[in-house]
Structure 1
Amino acid sequence: MLTSLLTAEGVRLSVREAGPAHGPAVVLVHGWAQSGEAWSHQLADPAFHAHAVDLRGHGESEVPDTGYRDSATWADDLRTVLDHTGPAVLVGWSYGGLVIADYLRAHGTSEVDGLVLVGAITEIGRDRPGGRSGRVMREALPAALSEDPAVAVPALHRFCVEQAPGLPGDAVQRLLGTALRVPSRVRGELFRRDVGSAEVLEAVDKPTLVVHGTADEVVDPAAGEYAAATIPGAELRWYEGIGHTPFLERPERFAADLAAFVAEVGR
């Protein structure tokens, strides 16, 4: 089911919903230049009520002119989703972890049952330990942000192939197609931020699971270690030999890990 939500500033967000209506709510937040479709395995037959949002400027959501550099805007976008779902487990992949940190900075944890950070950043900017990038990300920029398709398309293709080398070809093509739908301006705006989150992470008082592939070359595993070390009581779970998409590269294991976590902490 595809649901349309309107933020306080009037931006339309698209949310894919699946699973039992009265099950624990789980909000899935995708990464840079992707969409809620990335969570296809989690939407297929979830034991919980899954809500996979398309962030502003991505997927089926509206593409406003502004807001991409503003933590408060990202926080309020996610607040709109939680106003719809009620208290939920928040799952953030890659840039989605930063959006969750934006939300926590503005609104705290009262509507949060737990956090799952998957190959995630929680900060962004030069020398921010929670935003440390890997080789694949560094090599993709700035070409992947270009308005010139002759420059951007090869860079995005390499990025999608190399972020998870074991993925089948059709999965890589879906990731590439989704990335190409995101306007180059939006792809660039998401990087024009400088945000630290140490105090935000230190204040988290809900159960937290950090999942990171040891072979992730988009978000350096050190970023996962930082989040796990900074959030009180967080558990760090390594996926050996896995790249940037544990939920696509090891879907059965990730589904089991997520379902167990939600069963333990969800309402």
Structure 2
Amino acid sequence: MSYVVLTSLLTAEGVRLAVRQGGTEGPAVVLVHGWAQSGEVWSHQLADPSFRAYAPDLRGHGASDVPADGYGDSAAWAADLRAVLDHTGPAVLVGWSYGGLVIADYLRAHGTAGVRGLVLVGAVTEIGRGRPGGATGPAMRAALPAALAEDPSVAVPALAEFYERQGRFDGPTRQWMLGTALRVPARVRGALFRRDVDSAEVLRAVDKPTLVVHGTADEVVDPAAGEYAAATIPGAELRHYENTGHAPFLEQPERFAADLTAFVARTARGAENAGVAP
């Protein structure tokens, strides 16, 4: 049986990050959640006994510190993820939604140091008007700017509709996601969008195995964003999940678990063949 342990890490900047850990053996996998969510969203992966799973809460989210700034700074996100990798050792990085952009921030600062492979799930890797790696869908566009409001009478209906359109999973899950989003201060929810980031060169420099997973019915991040990442990262594999929304790991947990487990095992074998310790 796999137990989830909640620990905390202190970044070089002094920001305390909450990290959930599941599993005791196998390769390390770091799971980076999306905008206005937390590491709890990775419950299926944290329970997977085939690898050591680490799911941090990003700064300003979940049980992590809420610093005054850093949300628009690529270097700050890179430093946060570096602190996690310093704790886990070399790992496969899995980024969902905004988590893909955080991974791109890390790659921009550190390259693929400490990275065994990348999995991008319904992810953006860029942000800003006209950035192909940040193409959004109708649910995201409809939610803004109301979802960023301080006034709950404005924000709550917008966020409720946003999570209603995430994908085909049950009401309790959508309510949990709504509650998680409302724990993130409105100023943080808004700050994450006030960025303009081009990641083309960063993606072209990736030299690790990469899997891109995207639901064809994703209304939050346009499937074109996943197609862009897969086309730009050398050798990346793209898997479309048909009739699936923004969170394939919740909507098709068995299929996603099989795909992730196989990918992690493949990267581990590649590291062993290269003479690198697991």
What TM-score, normalized by structure 2, do the two folds share? Answer: 0.95
Question: Which residue is equivalent to 1:11?
Answer: 15
Q: Cα RMSD over matched residues? A: 0.6
Q: 1:185 aligned to 2:187?
A: yes
Q: Distance in 2 between matches of 1:162 and 1:226?
A: 23
Distance, in Å, in 2 between the alignment partners of 1:115 and 1:45 is: 18
* Aligned match of 1:211: 213
Measured against aligned partners, the alpha-carbon deviations of 1:60-116 in whole angstroms (never above 9, x if no partner) come to: 000000000000000000000000000000000000000000000000112100000
Residue in 1 aligned with 2:146?
143
* Whole-angstrom CA distance in 1 between matches of 2:193 and 2:207: 28
Q: Which residue of 1 aligns with 2:85?
A: 82
CA shift, 1:23, in A, is: 1.3
Question: Aligned runs of 1:73-112 on 2, under 5 Å?
Answer: 73-112=76-115
Indicate the SS of the match to 1:103.
helix
| Partner AA of 1:135 in structure 2 | P
Please list, as runs of the form range in 1=range in 2, the aligned pairs for 1:30-179 lying within 5 A after superposition.
30-164=33-167, 166-179=168-181
Q: Distance in 2 between matches of 1:8 and 1:65?
A: 16
The equivalent position to 1:2 in structure 2, one of 6, 9, 24, is 6
Secondary structure of residue in 1 paired with 2:163:
helix
Q: Deviations over 1:190-240 (max 9, x none)?
A: 000000000000000000000000000100000000000000000000000
- Which residue pairs with 1:257 in the alignment? 259
SS, match of residue 27 in structure 1? strand
Identify the residue that residue 204 of structure 2 maps to in structure 1.
202
% same residue: 78
Matched residue of 1:45: which SS?
coil
Report deviation, 1:45.
2.9
In 2, Cα distance between equivalents of 1:235 and 1:46: 25
| Partner SS for 2:207 | coil
Alignment-mate amino acid for residue 5 of structure 1 = L
Cα offsets for 1:146-199 (capped at 9, x unmatched): 0000000000000011111x1101111111110010000000000000000000
| Number of residues of Structure 1 aligned to a counterpart in Structure 2 | 265
* Aligned counterparts of 2:249 and 2:151: Cα–Cα separation in 1: 31
State the distance in 2 between where 1:45 and 1:137 align. 30
- 1:141, CA displacement in angstroms? 0.1
The gaps in structure 1 that reach 5 residues or longer are none
The residue matched to 1:92 in structure 2 has which SS? strand
Which of structure 1's runs of 4+ aligned residues deviate more than 2 A? none
Q: Does 1:243 find its partner at 2:237?
A: no
